[in-house]
Chains A and B, each alone.
Chain A
Amino acid sequence: MNAAARVQTWIDERLNLEEALSPLREKTVPVHRHSAWYFLGGLTLFLFGVQLLTGVLLLLYYHPSAGEAYESVQNITNRVQFGWLIRSLHSWSANLMVFCAFAHMFSVALARAYRKPRELTWISGVVLLFLVLGFGFSGYLLPWNMRAYFATKVGTEVAGQVPVIGHAIMVFMRGGEDVSGATLTRFFGLHIAILPALTIGILISHLMLVQKFGTSVPESVEQEWEEHPDRRKEMRFFPNFFLRELMGWYAALAVLIALAVFLPWELGTKADPFSPAPPGIKPEWYFLAQFQTLKLIPAHILHLDGEVLGILGFGLGGALWMALPFIEVLAGARRVRWVRAGIIFAMIFLASMSVVGYVAR
């Protein structure tokens, strides 16, 4: 018996890991023409890991105060050994993670993988996406540059438009009436403590639900397998699927490093609350669709404030999206195609509004 095997036996005798890991050993993943979409969840998880690792490294040098935040990021970029790489990896990985999370969610929605018994898996996944967006919103302010400052100002103002409780939400988010050092401290706490704690908790639940119910198979494939049981194919999660995921993760790492080197994340100029907002201020790409929609909504619709209606509309849209599995049940089997049309409409709407927002001056 070699040394590694002896250590494994020693641990197993005490913790009985063999039994704990046996469900994973038995776990299988369906193999069919849509199997490639299964890798998106794992890729999002990997990028979240990159975020945690690079985020902890950035924490070693970052100073969360209005007077020092910008300078500390400047120090990370210019002075700290490989600081530029870590910061760029953190920023690029964040954007890729948001992209993968959206892609994962839409692939699940189109495959109708939220069907019974996976409703809770879907809800936890949507909550995770909202948390990821929260990471993006709170992290964007931390370098304390002009773009971040004014984008946060606009973003929190939008929250302030929510009827009745909007102003209270805005003041709570900002730590006062305006975006200031207090906002930075709050966003920092949210970004490095509250959101990670919530995310890790819900992520564990999400993964346990995935493990409990197994991987969903699209209806068309399911039907085909029922008709032709000989065509049913599966692969073991360990090591077959996992090794494939590992390949994707290494490829993602290579892409991330290439992006960090060829397109380093710019720092911009330090935030100056007394200067006018830079022209063409826009939020990050994943908030562009909402931003552009609010811009295009008329000021008044049927004597009601257009912006307020837009915000309420997005709130309602988010709630409906989360309730998708139940809406489908309520709609009945005959109206499933309308639910699918709604999903496709939501995707086209978000994508086109994001493009219009990106191109708009």
Chain B
Amino acid sequence: MRILKNFRWWLAGLVMLAPCAMAEQGKNACVDCHSKLEGNLRVVVEESAASVHGHKAMSCTTCHGGNAEAEAKEKAHGNGFRGRISRAQVTELCGSCHADGERMKTFNPSLRTDQLALYHTSVHGKKREQGDERVAVCTDCHGVHDILPINDPRSPVHPVNVASTCKQCHADGDLMKNYRLASTQFADYSDSVHHEAMAERGDLSAPTCSTCHGSHGAVPPGAASVANVCSTCHVLQAQFFNESIHKEAFPEGCATCHGSHKIKHPDDNFVGLAKGAACAECHSADDDPGRSAQAIHDRLSQFEAQIKDTRGLMDRAASAGMDVADAELEVAQAKDALTKARVRVHTASLPRVEAELNAGRTVAIKAHNTAEEALRERTRRRKELLIPVTAFLAVVISLGAYIRELERKQSD
């Protein structure tokens, strides 16, 4: 632990060297010396110059003080020089600029300046105030000399990288033991539908750690506020859940059935009484709610099968060259109704799910009829084709006979 602690001290110290490379290239005495040093005192000029601070032409002295123009070490390290900046100093040092609205406006007027205030409300900030030096400070998440804008995919706090950044500490079982926290969140999240959306489908709006927990003001959402967190995206599901009988029964809200980090994509088998269904955890076929849950499952499955059947019919008609554009529209409406009915499952009310399905069934039947009519039309056309084709072939044969007769007469 001592080594780790020392390493972090050195790491914090490096923050202060960050802008060294950003001073006038070639004339910065900090860079002239520190680019030749080894270990934690070494500054990689290119890395710092490419950082967001480098782009804003900030120099080493912005954080470290001292005199970047002085050649002699004594003079360079004079004038309020802070060579090694402790972890305890990091947040306040960063905040000296980032919490200063007037100053930040000159660099980026749209950048928020409440990060430090939020940090103080976070678990990290509170622990830090209690003297805990292991909790995260600015540099743990954002980096030191190589800090990049959050919309840069290389940044450790870019949405795609946030979970991996949090994992550095939260997947460390030994470290988390000190706080009586589990260290499985990252593994669970990696197996979730949210991670799939983010990592595999590249959907940057998909939730990552900071979406639910906050970033600078990171706190675990309390049991009562879980539903509020989920409802920021899943608005209708939360609304229907709040109207349901389950609202009072499950103070943990959404997490009761869906879990927290390891949230899987729910299918229709998630409802009902079959093995693996959430409802079966509390209900059985012996109680009315259990039978109702099974009925919801059955209705949803039947309707999905109905849409699939219609789709197959439409594909047959389309492959025969028939236009089924109207049915396409209707089947899209039926699919919408199925999606809405699945959302209404959160009401735990069979009649409300049924009402949505009924609307969908009407359009699904229309699509089915349209596809069937297209197939009938195809058959009718093929039968009717025989009339002109037979007539034309009869003309061809008659002409052949006429020509033969004509030429026989001509030769006579």
Q: Which residues on A are within 8 Å of B, measured CB to CB? A: 74, 77-78, 84, 239-240, 243-244, 246-247, 250-251, 253-254, 257-258, 261-267
In the complex, are the beta carbons of B395 and A257 less than 8 A apart?
A: no
CA distance A241 to B395 in the complex (A): 16
In the complex, are the beta carbons of B389 and A250 less than 8 A apart?
A: no
The yes or no answer to B323 lying at the interface (CB within 8 A) is yes
Q: Given A77-B323, A264-B321, A240–B385 Cβ distance below 8 Å?
A: no
Q: Given A243-B402, A243-B403, A247-B400, A254–B389 Cβ distance below 8 Å?
A: yes
Query: In chain B, what residue has the closest Cβ to A74?
Result: B325
Most buried by B among A77, A250, A258: A250
CA distance A129 to B159 in the complex (A): 60
In the complex, are the beta carbons of A240 and B406 less than 8 A apart?
A: yes
Which residues on the B side are within 8 Å of A265 (C-beta)? 321
In the complex, are the beta carbons of B393 and A266 less than 8 A apart?
A: no
The yes or no answer to B131 lying at the interface (CB within 8 A) is no
CA distance A78 to B377 in the complex (A): 11
In the complex, are the beta carbons of A257 and B389 less than 8 A apart?
A: yes
Contact with A along B394-412 (1 / 0, CB 8 A): 0110011011001100100
In the complex, are the beta carbons of A264 and B382 less than 8 A apart?
A: no
Which residues on the B side are within 8 Å of A251 (C-beta)? 392-393, 396
- Which B residues between 141 and 189 are near A, CB-CB below 8 angstroms? none
In the complex, are the beta carbons of B399 and A254 less than 8 A apart?
A: no
CA distance A84 to B393 in the complex (A): 23
CA distance A84 to B385 in the complex (A): 13
Residue from A77, A243, A258 within 8 A of B385 (CB atoms): A258
Can you report 7 A-B residue pairs in the complex whose CB atoms are below 8 A from each other?
A244-B403, A253-B388, A253-B392, A254-B389, A254-B393, A257-B388, A265-B321
CA distance A140 to B139 in the complex (A): 61
Which residues on the A side are within 8 Å of B399 (C-beta)? 243-244, 246-247, 250
What is the minimal beta-carbon distance from A298 to any residue of chain B, in angstroms?
A: 35
CA distance A245 to B407 in the complex (A): 15
CA distance A272 to B143 in the complex (A): 44
In the complex, are the beta carbons of A262 and B382 less than 8 A apart?
A: yes
What is the minimal beta-carbon distance from A47 to any residue of chain B, in angstroms?
A: 15
The yes or no answer to B381 lying at the interface (CB within 8 A) is yes
In the complex, are the beta carbons of B388 and A74 less than 8 A apart?
A: no
Q: Given A239-B406, A240-B406, A267–B323 Cβ distance below 8 Å?
A: yes
Which residues on the A side are within 8 Å of B382 (C-beta)? 261-262
Additional pairs, 13, CB under 8 Å, beyond known A247-B399, A257-B388, A265-B321: A78-B323, A243-B399, A243-B403, A247-B396, A250-B395, A251-B396, A254-B396, A257-B389, A257-B392, A258-B385, A258-B389, A264-B322, A266-B321
Which residues on the B side are within 8 Å of A254 (C-beta)? 388-389, 392-393, 396
In the complex, are the beta carbons of A263 and B392 less than 8 A apart?
A: no
Which residues on the B side are within 8 Å of A250 (C-beta)? 392-393, 395-396, 399
The 7 closest A-B pairs by CB, nearest first: A264-B321, A254-B392, A261-B385, A250-B392, A254-B389, A247-B399, A250-B395
- Which B residues between 317 and 358 are near A, CB-CB below 8 angstroms? 320-323, 325-326
Query: In chain B, what residue has the closest Cβ to A254?
Result: B392
Query: In chain A, what residue has the closest Cβ to B377?
Result: A84
What is the minimal beta-carbon distance from A75 to any residue of chain B, in angstroms?
A: 11
CA distance A261 to B410 in the complex (A): 41
Query: In chain A, what residue has the closest Cβ to B383?
Result: A261
Most buried by A among B389, B392, B396, B400: B392
Which residues on the A side are within 8 Å of B395 (C-beta)? 250
Q: Given A74-B323, A247-B400, A240–B389 Cβ distance below 8 Å?
A: no
CA distance A265 to B323 in the complex (A): 10
Which residues on the B side are within 8 Å of A258 (C-beta)? 385, 389
What is the minimal beta-carbon distance from B359 to any residue of chain A, in angstroms?
A: 25
CA distance A84 to B322 in the complex (A): 9
Q: Given A261-B381, A263-B321, A240–B407 Cβ distance below 8 Å?
A: yes
Which residues on the B side are within 8 Å of A267 (C-beta)? 323
What is the minimal beta-carbon distance from A88 to any residue of chain B, in angstroms?
A: 8
CA distance A244 to B393 in the complex (A): 13
CA distance A267 to B385 in the complex (A): 21
CA distance A286 to B399 in the complex (A): 34
Most buried by A among B321, B323, B325: B321
Most buried by A among B381, B382, B406, B410: B381
Most buried by B among A254, A266, A267: A254
Which residues on the B side are within 8 Å of A266 (C-beta)? 321
Which residues on the A side are within 8 Å of B321 (C-beta)? 262-266
Q: Given A74-B323, A250-B392, A251-B396, A257–B385 Cβ distance below 8 Å?
A: yes
CA distance A264 to B374 in the complex (A): 13
Which residues on the A side are within 8 Å of B381 (C-beta)? 261
CA distance A310 to B19 in the complex (A): 56
- Which B residues between 352 and 387 are near A, CB-CB below 8 angstroms? 381-382, 385
Query: In chain A, what residue has the closest Cβ to B400?
Result: A247
CA distance A247 to B394 in the complex (A): 10
Which residues on the B side are within 8 Å of A261 (C-beta)? 381-382, 385
Most buried by B among A78, A84, A243, A247: A247
Which residues on the A side are within 8 Å of B402 (C-beta)? 243
Which residues on the A side are within 8 Å of B322 (C-beta)? 264
Which residues on the B side are within 8 Å of A74 (C-beta)? 323, 325
CA distance A266 to B325 in the complex (A): 12
What is the minimal beta-carbon distance from B401 to any residue of chain A, in angstroms?
A: 11
Which residues on the B side are within 8 Å of A263 (C-beta)? 321
Query: In chain B, what residue has the closest Cβ to A246?
Result: B399
CA distance A266 to B319 in the complex (A): 10
CA distance A267 to B318 in the complex (A): 11
What is the minimal beta-carbon distance from B353 to any residue of chain A, in angstroms?
A: 33
Residue from A78, A240, A244, A253 within 8 A of B325 (CB atoms): A78
What is the minimal beta-carbon distance from B233 to any residue of chain A, in angstroms?
A: 27
CA distance A267 to B392 in the complex (A): 28
Which residues on the A side are within 8 Å of B323 (C-beta)? 74, 77-78, 84, 267
Query: In chain A, what residue has the closest Cβ to B382?
Result: A261
CA distance A250 to B403 in the complex (A): 15
CA distance A267 to B324 in the complex (A): 11
CA distance A251 to B162 in the complex (A): 71
Query: In chain B, what residue has the closest Cβ to A236?
Result: B410
CA distance A240 to B410 in the complex (A): 10
